Amino acid sequence: MDDEAEDVPLTGQPMTPDELIDRTSLKNISSDSRIVSIEEAREELPLISRLLAGMQAVHDQAVSITGEIEELLRVLPIGHPHITEMTDFLGRIVHEWQEIGNQIQLLGACVSILDPGHVEWHGVVDGELVMYSWCQGEEDIEWWYPLGLSTTERRPLIEA
């Protein structure tokens, strides 16, 4: 474990975005990201969970169609109408996957791992910019980790 990780507490109190102490830490996140409170993240969790399941289903469908296209390319020429139809269908599936990802991002979240599903939000814990962390199968958002670390460094939220 590096020195930075040793300085970070093992638990933390979630706070509102207004309670962020070091505003310069905002330069470490993309301009289209937003910081949410734990209450906002929890309010959106049921919808995000459904969107994540949809994203996983669309991904599985894309993998299946890609396999079918590969098989077709072994026996049919590239310009064959059936191959064109299947690649167009794959394009629509990819577009649907991107749309679901955009919906999740508009809710202030991002999918960090597709399977098993892992979703994160930028939040504030003990005045510091962090990532709230939720994995598919967990009932609530009860974890966080410091920016610069990974999901394997998750720590429990302690709420008064």
Could you read off the pLDDT of 70-90 as tens digits, one per residue?
A: 999 999 998 999 999 999 999
- The residue ranking higher by pLDDT, 45 or 150, is 45
User: Strand, coil or helix: what is 13?
Assistant: coil
C-alpha span between 152 and 136 (Å, rounded) = 15
Confidence class of residue 1 from pLDDT cuts 50, 70 and 90? very low
Confidence class of residue 106 from pLDDT cuts 50, 70 and 90? very high
Long-range contacts at 116-121 (CB < 8 A, ≥ 24 apart) = 117/49, 117/52, 117/53, 117/56, 118/151, 119/48, 119/52, 120/151, 121/36, 121/40, 121/41
Per-residue pLDDT, 129: 95
C-alpha span between 4 and 2 (Å, rounded) = 6
Per-residue pLDDT, 151: 87
Per-residue pLDDT, 66: 97
Query: Tell me: the pLDDT tens digits for 120-145?
Result: 999 999 999 999 999 999 999 999 99
Is residue 157 a contact partner of residue 140, using CB atoms and an 8 Å limit? no
C-alpha span between 55 and 63 (Å, rounded) = 12
Instruction: Kindly tell me if the per-residue pLDDT of 8 is higher than 80.
Output: no
Instruction: Kindly tell me if the per-residue pLDDT of 148 is higher than 70.
Output: yes
Per-residue pLDDT, 159: 86
DSSP string, 16-51: -GGG-S-GGGGGGS-TT--B--HHHHHHHHHHHHHH
Give residue limits of the domains in the chain.
12-156
Beta-carbon-side half-sphere exposure of residue 53 (alpha carbons within 13 Å): 7
Confidence class of residue 99 from pLDDT cuts 50, 70 and 90? very high
Query: Tell me: the pLDDT tens digits for 18-73?
Result: 999 988 888 888 888 899 999 999 999 999 999 999 999 999 999 999 999 999 99
End-to-end CA distance of the chain: 29
